[in-house]
Structure 1
Amino acid sequence: MRYLILLYVLPGMPAILSAQSQLTGTVTEANGSPLPYANVRILAVKDSSLVAGSVSEVDGSFRFDRIAADDYLLSITSVGFRAYLQKIRVPRDEGLIVPPIVLMEGEDELAEVVVAAQKPLYEKQMDRMVINVQESITAAGSSVLEVLSRSPGVMVNQQQNSIALNGREGVMVMINNTLSRIPMGSLMQMLEGMSAANVEKIELISQPPSNLDAEGAGGIIHIVTKESTDFGTNGTFGLSAGAKRAEVYGANLSLAHRGKSFSVFAEYAYLHTHNVLLWRNAFRSESLSGLLKSFQSDTDRAILSQSHQFRVGIQKTFDKTSEIGAYINLTQNNNSMRGKGGTILQVGDSLVRADILYHESRDISNQSSHIHYSFQLRDKHTFRIDYDWVTLQLDNLSTYDNAAYFAEQSEAIQFDLESYAPMNFHIAALDYQFQPAEGINLKAGAKRSWMDFDNSIKSTYDENGVGELDSILAGSAHVQEIVSAAYISSDWKAGNKLAFKVGVRYEHTLTDIENGNEKGDINRNYANLFPSLLIEKNLHENTAMALGYYRRITRPSLGNLVPVVLLINQNTQFDGNAALLPSLIDTYKLELTYKRASVALEHSYTENAIALFQPSYDPKNELVTYSPQNLRYLQSTGLLFSAPWIIAANWDLQSSVQLNRRSFETAHLPVNQRNAVFDLNLNLSNTFLLGNGYTAEVGGNFQSRRNWGLLIFRPIGSLNIGLQKKLAGENGSIRLGIVDLLNTNNNLVDTEFREPPLHIHIDFYLRNRTLMLSYSRSFGNKKLKAVKVESASEEDRKRMDVK
């Protein structure tokens, strides 16, 4: 019942001024065409603080229904157009119809006005959902992984190092237009150490276009870091402090200088997180003879994480037709875990008890560098060359002290695991863009990536003081992979009624894995075509319909292919699967939008779907092993509804509801199982403008019972509240937030086998209830000028998943 609390908000708020009027208008381009999705903001004359905000409709119109009679600044901005700023007066009762506003192409400057406007938290676009992180009060002081876990349609499983989008696994993560290639486990740790203070927005791309990598059946999560668009020298800094089960604090600083032809920026962020997690797992089985077997384990894990991030970049524009840009990104994550656990195994009247002490140290060093050069020929032809070099060093040292007690005997066993994983990636891309006529945009390109990776695990086994190398837990592998790709795509806008996005992508993959043990080498050589189609038609002034189809692939992560055993306790372990096959997914989508609300019906069929961490049971040794497996098929049908609700001039509600039905059949069990599960995902966010610089936020998410292959997750949810105060002048803002107020955002998992009869339970209590106080402030020049330094080498991938 407590999960449903987030469905309700405070029923009343302070009344706004009684003298209210209506403000309406339209925004067009210079040729008279309507300009949809322009940011329209009403600002206070005194300090340019936000009074109300919206975006223009498909026909370019905008409307504010409850505006107090007063003088305001009307600000209208849109990417690629000069900003508009005009003082207006809204009369009492009569309302105001603003004459048509024309935005001109190009760049402009606002010399003296600081625009402190607010974007909507969620923005629905043609092929993606955009989350404007900086507009969330409860995101202050949070990590990027925590923000993701509260995002619409996103399911983060920290227990299994996996992320799902709209009910589908195999999600790629892209940071600043570069797909991440580092192991998913390492990536999850990096996102957990990445401060949301330096993130501008997160894009949930459900139907990636053909110029992006076809990897990832679930789509792409694109994380865009903050980058100042102000002309001159400026920057921001912030401080945060709070607590989970232990202390949490961080700091961030960014500096930028932008001229007419040259720009440079640098940013640094530090995040310290200390928390105590609780892991419980148990299983119960019954043999044909009726003998009952049961196992249970409890472990408290104190985790200390410290993260440093540094990024510096430059851009030089030589003339209107050519530019060069580059950046370097350095990330250092240090994680230390200490824990104590106990286990009990009972077989009939026999009882075995064990105590385990854990000590794990994991260090991740990630460096990436990027350079690009772009130029134009004959105005309509644009070429861009990108090169990226990424290195990663993963060091993991673990010690497990086991003390087992049975009957009148006891034994002590110690395992020491040392894991090392140096990785190198080189990615080169060439993109071409041609605009033969207005409304037609053709793209083509090619890329190639080279990857080299070593993984080695050494294990020392010490029983009652006698030490020897344990070959069962040891392993090594050398991996080489080459991925070649080419694509062609076209965007065509036929007037104001019809738009097309069509493309096809070809990818060829060579993977060679040399195993340093008896489990054998792996050689893969395969190629695929990936078509995509998206058609959008405006049915009415405010109504549009979109129809889409696309094919994508999920390749086995190289860490899942390398079969190296990892021990959780004496009755639970994780293993790889060298026989894992790539999976192909075909998805069909129909979407209807009315103004900024949308409802979508989506159906997908996945062949050889990869389900991570599927359990199997060895009744002879009472051992549960988790390993990735191919499902025979996975079929998913979902209905997604998203809408903003302007309850009042000072109350904005953003909502997202998703209902899925997923059916699948296993392919790896002695007696395979079929199953079908319905699940519901709900996200709500209420923003209240309280006046005098105060803003409040109340929101949360709810995820019903859902499946991940054989794993069945019990319902979870979170309730989040926050308060922000913008200080007078340029003194910054203070935010106070409480995330997961009811402490309900946990991973609770059940699995049941029919043959042999087996019930498995896993409870992973994340203990994410967080109280956080933060302060941020901007300084320097505030003249607006749009300049960006970004990477277009979108083909980096995160297929590495080293355990």
Structure 2
Amino acid sequence: MITRLFSLFISVIVLFAETSQAQSVVKGRVTDDKGQAIPAANILLLRPADSLLIKGVLTDANGYFRIDQIKTKEGVISVRMTGYKRKDTHFSFTGADTALQLGSISLITVVSNLKQVEIIEQKPLYEQKIDRLVVNVSNNIATAGGTVIDVLERSPGVSVERQSGSISLNARDGVQIMINGKVSRLPMDAVIQMLSSMSSSNIDRIELISNPGARYEASGNGGIINIILKKPADLGTKGSYNIILGYGKHEKAGVGLNLNHRTEKLNTYLDLSFYRNHTEQHFENSRMVHSAGDNVGTATVSERDPVTTNYSGLFGMDYMVNKQLTIGGYISAYSNKWVMDADNLVSIDTNNISSGGIKINNHETSRWQNLAGNIYLAYSWTDGSTLSLDADYLYYNNSNPTTYRNRYFNESDAVVIDSNLRAEKHTPVNIWVAKLDYTKKLGEKMELETGAKGSFSKFTNDVSLDELSNGKWANVPGFTVSAPYNENIGAVYAALNTTFSKSTRLNVGLRYEYADISLKGTDVKTALSRSFSNLFPTFFFAHDINKKNTIQFSYGRRITRPAFSDLAPFVIFLDPTAYYYGNAALLPAIADGIKLDYKYDRYLLSLQYSHESNAFAQRQPVINDSSSVEILTTLNLKYRNTYSLIFTAPVNIIQWWNLQLNVLGSYREVQTSHLDENFVRRQTSARVNVVQRFKLPAKFTLELSTLYRTPSITGISKTAAAGSVDLGIQRKIQQGKGNIRLNINDIFWTNIDKLTLYQPANNLDVKILYRYEPRVIRLNYTYNFGNTKVKNRAERETGANEIDNRVN
């Protein structure tokens, strides 16, 4: 089926491909204000409507440049060179002209008669593109030296629910996390754990993509969050290193190094980083169960002392065989180790009379290790068509041993039982991916994109629980299982990009995906075999009313498949009366979403709506009425409707004071499908983030960031209002090569997660509180060295880019 569809797409290419149009040429020469040639100046050909880069060249040793194969009737030549003022020249071809001579373009020196010249080009904190909002993390002072999760929590429209292990974008759940264009294959709670130990100093920017196009895999109903790591910026070597020191309740430290060496044909790059985060957590979980005429209350208080250590490395190279063919690849690896000691106190009462409880000391280790390799080939034709081939192999390994000492005490506080448990969880994962993408120019104003992809995943989830009895460890029945899982996904897609005029653009795409999954368990309840096939249409339209006013509309269908960890049988104890458990009966969730954007100058207003059937609700409490045991698991809702309004505005108050305002308003409606008496829950909520920046004397910059979120719903639970205030200050040193930043996060200790779920008809009365380490102070030092003109390595999407973050 997939082969036939892909053959059809290739036939479309042959059927619609047209003879290349007449190509135009623009020539010129760049000089300084004294008439002297300027070699190696950047010549950028930009689209007039939105300044989109079409292509770029450098001037030669005599200042001359030539840009050929131009397919637009008009454009902007932007000349840029360090030490000179940027100059833009608008041009257009008339009649049958195919060559245009711009003559001499003179640049004005920025600063003269000074012993030292410092040119600083700073990107705005937020940039709105046609299909994504870009957060330039390197310009965020208040989160410098912190973790990536700190930055995500303060990004427009992003909500991180650590307690449920979920991330939402513009109030939509099911977000796909990508790092450098490659999807993380960890389950979301493990992704949050990893990002909580990854330094933000290694991040260049974050791309928030609400409605991805057809070339992206259809997984992730909430869209895509793409985290782009810093890259060293024609020939030569460049790099940087950074050092982080921090303290809250405990110490933090990290170092990072990246290098880039480029010759005329070969580009090599290396990234290494280490980060250690010693923190603390305070959790509370209470519930009331009505059983056999009695009210049984259980309250758990957990004091946790986790330490996370993260090592990561990447080495890669690109080799340009000729101007049309490039080959390359990379290998990467990381190790993320989370170690926690916790003291837990469980108090139990019956009809408000104490009936004893449990004192628990547990030691837990969770280690994720990864080794990945990629090889690729990219070929481009003179008419602008391109072909890329990718092959990836990824290996993950997760080990999660935990020991518990449980001391049961009676109403008189006397220990009556002293027991020891140990749990083991081991999960090796293997993933193979192959991908092909082809683009074909169909004339001056039309481009066809098409491709195919196949991914093959398998893992075995081995879980066991033993109890120490009479000096020997004995297996506990019901909590030991070995569950092999296999998943094969094939996909083909086609998308048509059309430019009706310089101000109107259209993209229409269609993606077909077929998935075959099987999970084997120790019993019928934990085994499944399913196949799914779906069509995923996408539609994008953009129109520039004038230079300052733009409207955009998009529609897309997405799918969120259950995470491997949510499907596979496993158990993780919070205490003997509450534990997480997998749900093999989960179904995929399908979402249809529309988005309307209006942009005026730098101000953006967005309206969004999505309908999601079989939506996931992570870590939802299910109470066993007879035993009062609380099981936290992922469940399917009947549906979830989300309406959201997003407004972003940069405001320049005075020359030395500006702010960025981000407001998200949302309305959610969810209906359950798993309870005895199902219900509908509705909630209106808002999220406001204000980042203020002050330019101070002596090259200091101060940044104040405030975040506030009103009550909202997560799954079927309600979360309380919360927020934070962060402060940071920075100064460039060492002739601009060094940068030192000092910041403090959550100054007033207000970023506390509180959840409640009260549904008496379903015997649900649960309260949860999660408090994380407040008032963390960090000092971050970064130094850049080498040739500052070295270009960044190319950013590519590989074959593994769009696999679900669904590894267990």
TM-score by length of 1: 0.86
Distance 1:589 1:333 in 2: 37
Structure 1 residue 193 displacement after superposition = 2.2
Distance 1:28 1:241 in 2: 41
Who is 2:277 aligned against?
273
Matched, 1:775 2:752: no
Who is 2:434 aligned against?
428
Deviations 1:617-673 (A, max 9, x none): 122111121111111111111111111112222222112111111011100011111
Matched, 1:369 2:373: yes
- Structure 2 residue matching 1:541: 3-state secondary structure: coil
Who is 2:152 aligned against?
148
Deviations 1:492-538 (A, max 9, x none): 22222211121011110010111134634210101000001111112
Matched, 1:383 2:380: no
Matched, 1:308 2:314: no
Distance 1:586 1:442 in 2: 24
- Which residue type is aligned with residue 404 of structure 1? Y
- Structure 2 residue matching 1:137: 3-state secondary structure: coil
Structure 1 residue 793 displacement after superposition = 2.3
* 2:175–2:220 Cα contact (<8 Å) kept: yes
* 2:220–2:804 Cα contact (<8 Å) kept: no
- Structure 2 residue matching 1:189: 3-state secondary structure: helix
- Structure 1 residue matching 2:457: 3-state secondary structure: strand
Who is 2:80 aligned against?
83
* 1:234–1:255 Cα contact (<8 Å) kept: yes
Structure 1 residue 731 displacement after superposition = 4.7
Who is 1:126 aligned against?
130
Distance 1:99 1:352, change over 3 A: closer
Structure 1 residue 557 displacement after superposition = 1.4
Structure 2: 5+ residue runs without aligned partners?
1-41, 54-73, 93-99, 102-106, 110-115
* 2:83–2:119 Cα contact (<8 Å) kept: no
Structure 1 residue 405 displacement after superposition = 1.0
Who is 1:575 aligned against?
581
Structure 1: 5+ residue runs without aligned partners?
1-26, 39-59, 62-77, 90-97
Matched, 1:749 2:752: no
Who is 1:593 aligned against?
599
Distance 1:736 1:37, change over 3 A: farther
Distance 1:131 1:32, change over 3 A: closer
- Structure 2 residue matching 1:319: 3-state secondary structure: coil
Distance 2:128 2:382 in 1: 35
Who is 2:710 aligned against?
704
Distance 1:136 1:347, change over 3 A: same
Aligned length: 726
Matches within 5 A, 1:544-555: 544-555=550-561
* 2:577–2:629 Cα contact (<8 Å) kept: yes
Who is 1:258 aligned against?
262
Who is 2:297 aligned against?
294
Distance 1:354 1:788, change over 3 A: same
Matched, 1:210 2:219: no
Q: Which stretch of structure 1 is more off in the superposition, 503-512 or 378-387? A: 378-387
Who is 1:8 aligned against?
none
Who is 1:663 aligned against?
669
* 2:242–2:256 Cα contact (<8 Å) kept: yes
Distance 2:374 2:613 in 1: 36
Structure 1 residue 288 displacement after superposition = 7.7
Distance 1:164 1:99 in 2: 40
Distance 1:498 1:507, change over 3 A: same
Matches within 5 A, 1:409-428: 410-428=416-434
Distance 1:798 1:497 in 2: 35
Distance 1:500 1:34 in 2: 14
Distance 1:144 1:409, change over 3 A: closer
- Structure 1 residue matching 2:196: 3-state secondary structure: helix
Matched, 1:334 2:349: no
Matches within 5 A, 1:123-522: 123-229=127-233, 231-286=235-290, 289=293, 291-348=294-351, 349-407=353-411, 410-462=416-468, 465=471, 467-517=473-523, 519-522=525-528
Distance 2:256 2:510 in 1: 41
* 2:43–2:78 Cα contact (<8 Å) kept: no
Who is 2:628 aligned against?
622
Matched, 1:561 2:567: yes
Deviations 1:154-202 (A, max 9, x none): 1112222211111111111111111122232332222222222221111
Distance 1:270 1:450, change over 3 A: same
Matches within 5 A, 1:673-692: 673-692=679-698
Distance 1:386 1:179, change over 3 A: same
Distance 1:82 1:329, change over 3 A: farther
- Structure 2 residue matching 1:316: 3-state secondary structure: strand
- Which residue type is aligned with residue 323 of structure 2? K
* 1:556–1:799 Cα contact (<8 Å) kept: no
Match of 1:604 among 607, 610, 630: 610
Who is 1:36 aligned against?
51
- Which residue type is aligned with residue 561 of structure 1? L
Deviations 1:685-736 (A, max 9, x none): 1122224321111112222111112111111211111000111415501100
Distance 1:506 1:114, change over 3 A: farther
Distance 1:228 1:336 in 2: 33
* 1:613–1:627 Cα contact (<8 Å) kept: yes
- Structure 1 residue matching 2:138: 3-state secondary structure: helix
- Structure 2 residue matching 1:148: 3-state secondary structure: helix
Distance 1:87 1:350 in 2: 78
Distance 1:550 1:741, change over 3 A: same
Distance 2:802 2:49 in 1: 37
- Which residue type is aligned with residue 304 of structure 2? R
Distance 1:594 1:241, change over 3 A: same
Structure 1 residue 549 displacement after superposition = 1.1
Structure 1 residue 113 displacement after superposition = 7.9
- Structure 1 residue matching 2:280: 3-state secondary structure: strand
Distance 2:508 2:343 in 1: 55
Q: Which stretch of structure 1 is more off in the superposition, 349-358 or 550-559? A: 349-358
Distance 1:335 1:87 in 2: 50
- Structure 1 residue matching 2:142: 3-state secondary structure: helix
Deviations 1:750-792 (A, max 9, x none): 1111314442111111124310011111011112535415343
**Identical-pair percentage:** 28
* 1:514–1:520 Cα contact (<8 Å) kept: yes
Q: Which stretch of structure 1 is more off in the superposition, 604-613 or 180-189? A: 180-189
* 2:249–2:773 Cα contact (<8 Å) kept: yes
* 2:369–2:396 Cα contact (<8 Å) kept: yes
- Which residue type is aligned with residue 83 of structure 1? R
* 1:397–1:418 Cα contact (<8 Å) kept: yes
Distance 1:232 1:671, change over 3 A: same
Structure 1 residue 438 displacement after superposition = 2.7
Deviations 1:552-585 (A, max 9, x none): 0111112211232322112211112221111111
Distance 2:201 2:695 in 1: 22
Structure 1 residue 319 displacement after superposition = 1.6
Distance 1:464 1:796, change over 3 A: farther
Distance 2:381 2:551 in 1: 36
Who is 1:66 aligned against?
none
Who is 2:59 aligned against?
none
- Which residue type is aligned with residue 417 of structure 2? E
Indicate the RMSD between aligned Cα atoms, in angstroms. Answer: 2.7
* 1:181–1:796 Cα contact (<8 Å) kept: no
Deviations 1:52-78 (A, max 9, x none): xxxxxxxx99xxxxxxxxxxxxxxxx9
- Structure 2 residue matching 1:560: 3-state secondary structure: helix
* 2:358–2:409 Cα contact (<8 Å) kept: yes
